Amino acid sequence: MSKYLGIDSSTQSITGLLIDTENNTIVAEESINFDEHFKAAYGVENGVFDLGNGAVHSAPLMWAEALDLLLQTLKDQDHDLSQIEAIAGSGQQHGTVYLNNTAAPALQNISSALPLKDQLAGIFSRDTTPIWMDTSTSAQCAEIEDGVGGQDKLLELTGNTAFERFSGPQIRKFHQTEPDAYNNTVYIGLVSSYIASLLAGKLVGVDPGDGSGTNMMDIAAREWSLTALDATAPDLTDKLLPIAPSGQAVGTISHYFMGRYGFAKDCLVLPFSGDNPCSLIGLGLVTPGQVALSLGTSDTLFACMDQPRTSKTGEGAVFASPDGEHYMALTCYLNGSLAREAVRDIYHFDWGSFAEALRITVPGNNGGLMLPYFSPEIVPKVSEPSVVRQDLNEADAKANIRAVIEAQALSSSIHARWMGVDISSLYVTGGASANAEILRIYADVHNCPVHRFETANSAALGAALCAAHGHQSATGNAVSWQETVAPFTEPVAGSTIKPDKEAVAVYREMIVEYQALEKAHTVAS
């Protein structure tokens, strides 16, 4: 047998991806959409509850019910789940799950005769889970930073400044606003460790990758920081299990899943991680210097680092990699496809003519520059929409099209410097990665080969690869991470674009001008 299951519990769905490492194939890929199946029962919209004033929650019992439905669907499709050697997974980052003192015995004694939702409804000390979309904790962020000795101290300790979406501020708010429920909580986990706990039939700790997104973990030691915990809430050490080391099985699968779905009794459960760290693995980024760029609604740049370098200006986040050795740097730009589509629509182009405009215009755009902040920007921080042109005629459609792509590529180079990564290759995903002319500009700006990588579920794939690597290590058949990911993370055949030396030289000079323009228009924002 050589089959491994990766499970990704995201905001709007739960996905299972089954791989066969003997044949190097994806055997199955199935998703359960929360709204489609559970909107009536739980009242979710796009998988969440908007409670107002920035508070956004979801339902952990719904996730348990969705896990049942996912596994039943795979079984109904005639996949033999007894052949699965190990399971690992990913969860939407930062969401906190709160359980009471009935949770551990309930998980241990659960019966395969009844679904999870009928047996676990009473285990929660808080019925809902604040998730990554929740921005209601600004006051708690400031309090945590003060509690550890300031923003720089928290950054040095945990790899990140206090962020409203992170778990620590959410826990502090829960303690402050619902003290009785907090006192009745005996276990606080994340979405990832909660799903892993269901599968293992016992409470499971958070892994370093997801622990990095809490503002509570010592990023270098990969263990909870007592300083950060004390600044977050009282008695927190009693409510958290130790960090679960990446790659080390937390146990075998619960008898519930053996009896209900036919899993083998020796099927291992590996620690689950966050969706971003799992995507790092799913894109094959297990060597420092490898960088991926997702060109989506927003553009996200993430890299594999050998050390937990931090961004003192708040340009990005740092997480531990599930490979147990490296770290992940992540920077998000809001004006991704938002800006590309805005320029396309202003000049009434389609994507074909958009690509042609890039092909026939020259690198450097004859000096024409644009700051494409069609919406408020995250990096650099721009609070109000603002489109700035320098030596660029607004009426020149083709020049404006080149300007927006050159701006995005130049910005991605400037704001990747804090990572301390010598970018040796760039893997590009997302809708805009289909445009070779866009990729050509990124290759020239970064002076490295650009490869197109096509995957819809990199987090679930990364989880499955974590399961494979962990199982092989546990059974004495350890292989390197490079060998583990290589068969599943090859770029699209023929997609590689190499940099052009003349264009590289143009952009080396242009980036100085662009950075000066950016600085002049963002310092006051």
Q: What is the pLDDT of residue 422?
A: 86
* Backbone angle region of 519, left / alpha / beta, with phi > 0 → left and psi within -120 to 50 → alpha: alpha
d(CA 333, CA 356): 25
Strands (E), 296-334: 299-305, 317-320, 327-333
Secondary structure of residue 398 in the 3-state scheme? helix
Would you say 97 and 188 are in contact if contact means Cβ atoms under 8 Å apart? yes
The owner of tokens 């190990």 is 86
d(CA 312, CA 225): 20
pLDDT in tens, the chain (525 residues): 699 999 999 999 999 999 999 999 999 999 999 999 999 999 999 999 999 999 999 999 999 999 999 999 999 999 999 999 999 999 999 999 999 999 999 999 999 999 999 999 999 999 999 999 898 999 999 999 999 999 999 999 999 999 888 999 999 999 999 999 999 999 999 999 999 999 999 999 999 999 999 999 999 999 999 999 999 999 999 999 999 999 999 999 999 999 999 999 999 999 999 999 999 999 999 999 889 999 988 899 989 999 999 888 778 899 999 999 999 999 989 899 989 999 999 999 999 999 999 999 999 999 999 999 999 898 998 888 999 999 999 999 999 999 999 999 999 999 999 998 889 889 998 889 999 999 999 999 999 999 998 777 899 999 999 999 999 999 999 899 999 999 999 888 999 999 999 999 999 999 999 999 999 998 544
Q: What is the pLDDT of residue 524?
A: 44
Q: What is the pLDDT of residue 376?
A: 87
d(CA 467, CA 393): 54
Other CB atoms within 10 Å distance of the CB of residue 414:
18
pTM summary value: 0.89
d(CA 463, CA 468): 9
Phi, psi of 406 (to 5 degrees): -65, -40
Q: Strand pairing partners for 96?
A: 190
Q: What is the pLDDT of residue 525?
A: 40
For 461-486, give the DSSP string. HHHHHHHHHHHHHHTT----HHHHHG
- What single DSSP character describes residue 101? T
CB-facing half-sphere around the CA of 196: CA atoms within 13 A: 33
The token pair at 205 is 């700790």
284-454+493-525: CATH superfamily: ATPase, nucleotide binding domain (3.30.420.40)
Q: Strand pairing partners for 240?
A: none
Other CB atoms within 10 Å distance of the CB of residue 449:
16
- What single DSSP character describes residue 434? G
Phi, psi of 284 (to 5 degrees): 80, 20
Q: Where in the chain is the domain with CATH 3.30.420.40?
A: 3-277, 284-454+493-525
d(CA 415, CA 372): 15
3-277: CATH superfamily: ATPase, nucleotide binding domain (3.30.420.40)
308-343 burial: b if 16+ Cβ within 10 Å, else e: bbbbeebbbbbbbbbbbebbbbbbbbbbbbbbbbbb
d(CA 222, CA 345): 47
Residues 6+ apart with CB under 8 A from 106: 119, 120, 122, 123
Q: What is the pLDDT of residue 421?
A: 87
Helices (H), 255-384: 255-261, 275-282, 337-346, 351-360
